[in-house]
Chains A and B, each alone.
Chain A
């Protein structure tokens, strides 16, 4: 059968909202796009544990500590669901790890910012998980079955993440003057990087159109960013914080909030590896991988021994 007919049949399935499953024929570019997107997503979940893990031992109460620990553990789980979805496309786990550890693969640039105070943990839950949810909910309807199914599990777990973050900030907002300042300071630092999580503006995002046609993406970067701004404004009022954007104001005509210019130079700079923590994050991942080598080897030997014993018995 000619290639173009296969491609036409593939697109017809997508148009009819029929999911693509691992063994189905798919264009090479679709496979490559998915491998890149799902692996970047998985890496982001894994690296995303680092800034928050930083505060587990210093959480202000046992209640906060168990919640943060559970959240960080969920993020590890999200990484694993996504790696396993990615592997169904024919790339193996060790290759994916290698791409992360060598710096060849990207992950969300938000995780290259430091967590300076406890309020940052609240701001991450509210804004970073909030932006992630905005991105992830439409991915539950992605055309690739294993990715869509993984996202359903992820989204179920995410809502607790955002709520625990918001609760941390709400507590600070009712606290001392110093705590309120800490809250405002965290929001000042996390707002713009969170806005960047939706990726470059549509005009500079050449792959968006193809991804929408393949129904990997359901909304453009700018559409999702607008949704995010619109929900955050009211939530900020509850927290009594100011979002650090003097241009933020309601536009009656559009029915949306207008917002200021994003510093894309900063974004690309962080993507290229020059953010405040890029080096530290990669070093932490590499160290964990290298230090764990003996455990992985021992586990293989142990399993072999158990198999040998079983054969004798």
Chain B
């Protein structure tokens, strides 16, 4: 019998007010075991207050080879940054 347990990605919120952050992966038979194992493996020292687990096969990722076509168009749009705009020194709080 195949006992290869599926792979899960683990995300942890380190404290209230922060986003969940990817910390690594682990194997588990189902979501319940994945959460329990994530607690034991990734939060032995109060590293988190909330855990997300997602089966790795469900993660859809962008392709690094597409990175030019995906991200380059943003490079020449400097007007999206506040420093693009010239304002006299006297203007405050802006």
**Using a CB–CB distance below 8 Å, which chain A residues touch chain B?**
21, 23-25, 70, 73-74, 77, 80-81, 84-85, 87-88, 92-94, 146, 149-150, 153, 157, 293, 296-297, 299-300, 302-303, 306-307
Q: Is the CB of A296 within 8 A of B25?
A: no
Looking at chain A's contact residues, is the secondary structure mostly helix, strand, loop, or mixed? Answer: helix
**Given A23-B63, A300-B29: A85 in contact with B1 (beta carbons within 8 A):** no
Q: Is the CB of B25 within 8 A of A94?
A: no
Q: Is the CB of A296 within 8 A of B63?
A: no
> With a CB–CB cut-off of 8 A, which chain B residues contact A85?
24
Q: Is the CB of A299 within 8 A of B29?
A: yes
B54 shortest CB reach to chain A, Å = 14
Q: Is the CB of A80 within 8 A of B41?
A: yes
Of B5, B23, B45, B61, the residue contacting A300 (CB under 8 A) is B5
Q: How does the 8 Å CB contact mask read for B4-21 relative to A, with 1 for contact and 0 for none?
A: 110100000000000000
**Given A87-B7, A299-B5, A303-B33: A77 in contact with B27 (beta carbons within 8 A):** no
**Given A23-B64, A299-B33, A303-B29: A84 in contact with B24 (beta carbons within 8 A):** yes
In chain A, what residue has the closest Cβ to B56? A87
Complex Cα spacing A25 to B45, Å: 35
Q: Is the CB of B44 within 8 A of A306?
A: no
User: Does B26 touch A at the CB level, under 8 Å?
Assistant: yes
Q: Which of B1, B29, B33, B64 has the largest count of A CB atoms less than 10 A from its CB? A: B29
